[in-house]
Structure 1
Amino acid sequence: MYAIVDIETTGGYASAGSITEIAIFIHDGHQIVQQFETLVNPHRPIPRYIQALTGITDEMVENAPAFEDVAEEVYNLLQNNIFIAHNVNFDYSFLRHQLDACGYKLQNKKLCTVRLSRKIFPGFPSYSLGNLCRSLRINLVNRHRATGDALATVQLFERLLSADANGAIATALNARSKEKWLPLHLPQEQVADLPSCPGVYYFHNEKGKVVYVGKAKNIRKRVTSHFTGNNASRQRQEFVRNIHSISFEKTGTELMAFILESIEIRRLWPIYNNAQKRIESKYGFYMFEDQQGYLRLAIEKRRKYTTPVFSFNMLTEGHQRLRELVREFKLCPKLCFLQTSQDTCTGVTEKTCKGACEKKEKPAKYNLRVQAAVAHLLAEQPSFMIVDAGREATEQSCILMEKGKFYGMGYVPRDVPVSETEALKDWLTQYPENEFILNLLRQYAGSNAARLISL
């Protein structure tokens, strides 16, 4: 048996809206055998634009039953029947949410007449209920009222049943089919064509703009998981509603997918990605020559388009490292901005500064020690490659860290040696680094030392 349903509501999201009208027609595959229809008091004002659309006013529902008064009857009509609606996930999410609040668990197989119409009646310019009814010459009366739209959906479903030569309905009802969970505008074929390998996937809106970037060990499985469940929140419903297409990029490993996702989020800034959009409080050592010719080291916040000689997260970490360099290479605390007062240089007092701050040491001699300190700092930073599986059997993947900085990654034919760093770079794509990527690679290196090729 089929339960063909239409509802009217106060808004577009189940968790933030209420039902104002319900119509349910029980159909045995040949004819209507039972029906139920009622206005519902939502116990909240109906927005003016919805009143204008549906014709349902606050006065009309004032004496109507509340949903909890009809919940049992609605549940008994729906349970054990196949739930059918035009854009089924909208109606189902509202009824499931409100029945759940009344203590009833709705768990039905579902059919969407929008998706079925696209398969059984391909080529129409629009699959909205009104336009489909015009194309198929179905009589639609009382548009945007639950009974009128539900009766039109009944006639549409009867047409679909009689024209379903290729078993589209049986396929949609298959328990293993994920199509009923997919966003309304997302072609099922795009999901079916997704590979079961690591990579990055992109959700696009109606205009093709990327609205979400995700990474996966198995692209197809991860994408499908986005659409299962019945989260009725406004954010979730809006997210699903805005997905019109999917694209993807394969990667050789899950680690590369993590890295590429981070890069793409910062490049595309998708509206539904939030986790990696925070501004990073990251610092660096910057080296410059002052007007007197002395090289100076300064701690500054990292800014876009600037390249520090060394990066770090915590300001305290930077000050500690700089003090170590000052002591070890006999640098001047004042020229390194560790002492900003006009008092006598503490380095001179402690005999670790040779008087550059007082012009007693020539710039050329002092600068050699600054350069040696920077070289020492960089020499401490790891340089390594991570060589692993490629996207195909004929290639291998490679991630390059050079002196503590992420250089890039790419794919190398298996017959090309990876021992020569400069030659290897011809095969790699350089990418901008960020703190997420650096931490990811540091953690990986710490727990997978056997897989690293030190340089």
Structure 2
Amino acid sequence: MNFVAFDFETANEYKDSACEIGIAIVENGIVKEQKSWLIKPKKMYFNPFNVMIHGIDEYQVWDKPEFDVIWEEVRPYLENNYVVAHNVGFDISVLKSTLDAYGLPYPHLKFLCSHKVARRVWPGLVKYDLKTVSSYHNITFRHHKAGDDAEACARILIKAFEKLRLESFDELVKMISVKVGKLDANGYDSSEIRPKSKIKPRNPIVGDVLKRNPEHIFFQKQVVFTGTLQSMTRSEAQKKIADIGGIIDDIITIRTNYLVIGRKDYKRDNGISLSSKHKRTQEFLQKGANIEILSEEDFLRML
């Protein structure tokens, strides 16, 4: 997955007083680069409380560029991208207010809150602030340094993708029921947790270790079922895969090895109407994924 995490520090209680911005650039699930810029606020007023938090004062920024200059370098990283922040509502509001202060247009981007993601993925933590969640994952960083905060946020989101065995934002937001926020020329739409939703268990069926067969073609392979089977129930078929030592999944990802289409749906999927999993498989195949589509008869022969 590719995205950019970002973080603002402000000089005072006003949202248009950005004094530092940091970003962490993630490519293919790896933090490739961290960057940060000190910013001279348009109004040079530093609240002592803010200075106590982040350690930045007017003496450190008096010769730094203002936001409109720095924005020319920062904007390409965020434009048309997925961006993430911890408590993203604050950072997006700082971005909007600072752009408004300089009369600059909003970029087009989608955003997600790592705080909300953490609440869904790791229920039961005492708190979900950046320091607590980072400590839970042994992520070390200098808190309230914008670049470090952005990288810690990025690493938390990477951990979420890894835990759920997902590859894309579309899969993530669907699984944990979090609404993606949007910012563009037409305005702002917040990122929110959808009510009364739970993460569904990804692999609830446990195989019999005495039946494991390392020589079997399905051993250690990820198998997804779609449609209605005629020879057995889907749970029975999944149990057979689990007994062999295969991996049961319910979402198509780049790691999927086999998609099994139930007999009642195979004819339909060879026609005009495809199941969502079949469509997703075709999308990955076009990108070079190695996923084999099996009919129910193929599956039974391979068992």
TM-score, normalised relative to structure 1: 0.37
Displacement of 1:75 in angstroms is 1.1
Q: 8 Å contact 1:116–1:168 — kept in the other structure?
A: no
Q: 8 Å contact 2:82–2:109 — kept in the other structure?
A: yes
Opposite residue 140 of structure 2, the aligned amino acid is N
Q: Match of 1:370?
A: none
Is residue 43 of structure 2 the alignment partner of residue 37 of structure 1?
no
Q: Match of 2:118?
A: 117
Q: Match of 2:104?
A: 103
Is residue 166 of structure 2 the alignment partner of residue 160 of structure 1?
no
Q: 8 Å contact 1:75–1:104 — kept in the other structure?
A: no
Displacement of 1:166 in angstroms is 7.4
Q: Please list, as runs of the form range in 1=range in 2, the aligned pairs for 1:140-219 lying within 5 A after superposition.
A: 140=141, 142-165=142-165, 169-170=169-170, 173=173, 178=179, 180=181, 188-189=194-195
Opposite residue 5 of structure 2, the aligned amino acid is I
Q: 8 Å contact 1:182–1:188 — kept in the other structure?
A: no
Is residue 92 of structure 2 the alignment partner of residue 86 of structure 1?
no
Q: Please list, as runs of the form range in 1=range in 2, the aligned pairs for 1:255-266 lying within 5 A after superposition.
A: none
Q: Match of 1:47?
A: 47
Displacement of 1:98 in angstroms is 2.2
Q: Match of 1:4?
A: 5
Displacement of 1:129 in angstroms is 0.5
Opposite residue 129 of structure 2, the aligned amino acid is S
Greater length-normalized contact order (CA 8 Å, ≥ 6 residues apart): 2
Q: 8 Å contact 1:7–1:21 — kept in the other structure?
A: yes
Partner of 2:37, secondary structure, is strand
Displacement of 1:136 in angstroms is 1.9
Is residue 23 of structure 2 the alignment partner of residue 24 of structure 1?
yes
Q: 8 Å contact 1:171–1:177 — kept in the other structure?
A: no
Query: Aligned partners of 2:32, 2:134: CA distance in 1, in Å?
Result: 23
- Provide the aligned C-alpha RMSD in A: 2.8
Residues 134 and 34 of structure 1: CA distance in aligned 2, closer, same or farther (over 3 Å): closer
Q: Please list, as runs of the form range in 1=range in 2, the aligned pairs for 1:263-278 lying within 5 A after superposition.
A: none
Q: 8 Å contact 2:112–2:180 — kept in the other structure?
A: no
Q: How many residues align?
A: 186
Mean Cα displacement is larger for which, 113-122 or 159-168?
159-168
Displacement of 1:105 in angstroms is 1.9
Q: Please list, as runs of the form range in 1=range in 2, the aligned pairs for 1:234-245 lying within 5 A after superposition.
A: none
Q: 8 Å contact 1:179–1:188 — kept in the other structure?
A: no
Query: Aligned partners of 1:118, 1:191: CA distance in 2, in Å?
Result: 12
User: CA deviation digits over 1:235-276, x for unaligned, max 9?
Assistant: xxxxxxxxxxxxxxxxxxxxxxxxxxxxxxxxxxxxxxxxxx
Displacement of 1:35 in angstroms is 3.9
Residues 12 and 115 of structure 1: CA distance in aligned 2, closer, same or farther (over 3 Å): farther
Aligned-pair identity in percent equals: 26
Opposite residue 111 of structure 1, the aligned amino acid is L
Query: Aligned partners of 1:49, 1:29: CA distance in 2, in Å?
Result: 39
| Structure 1 residue runs without a partner (length 5+) | 193-455
Displacement of 1:107 in angstroms is 2.3
Displacement of 1:143 in angstroms is 1.1
User: CA deviation digits over 1:253-306, x for unaligned, max 9?
Assistant: xxxxxxxxxxxxxxxxxxxxxxxxxxxxxxxxxxxxxxxxxxxxxxxxxxxxxx
Query: Aligned partners of 1:50, 1:78: CA distance in 2, in Å?
Result: 26
Displacement of 1:96 in angstroms is 2.8
Opposite residue 38 of structure 1, the aligned amino acid is W
Partner of 2:195, secondary structure, is helix
Partner of 2:123, secondary structure, is coil
TM-score, normalised relative to structure 2: 0.55
Query: Aligned partners of 1:183, 1:177: CA distance in 2, in Å?
Result: 7
Residues 182 and 67 of structure 1: CA distance in aligned 2, closer, same or farther (over 3 Å): closer
Residues 102 and 132 of structure 1: CA distance in aligned 2, closer, same or farther (over 3 Å): same
Q: Please list, as runs of the form range in 1=range in 2, the aligned pairs for 1:349-360 lying within 5 A after superposition.
A: none
Q: 8 Å contact 2:178–2:194 — kept in the other structure?
A: no
| Structure 2 residue runs without a partner (length 5+) | 182-188, 199-303
Q: 8 Å contact 1:85–1:91 — kept in the other structure?
A: yes
Partner of 1:22, secondary structure, is strand
Opposite residue 71 of structure 1, the aligned amino acid is W
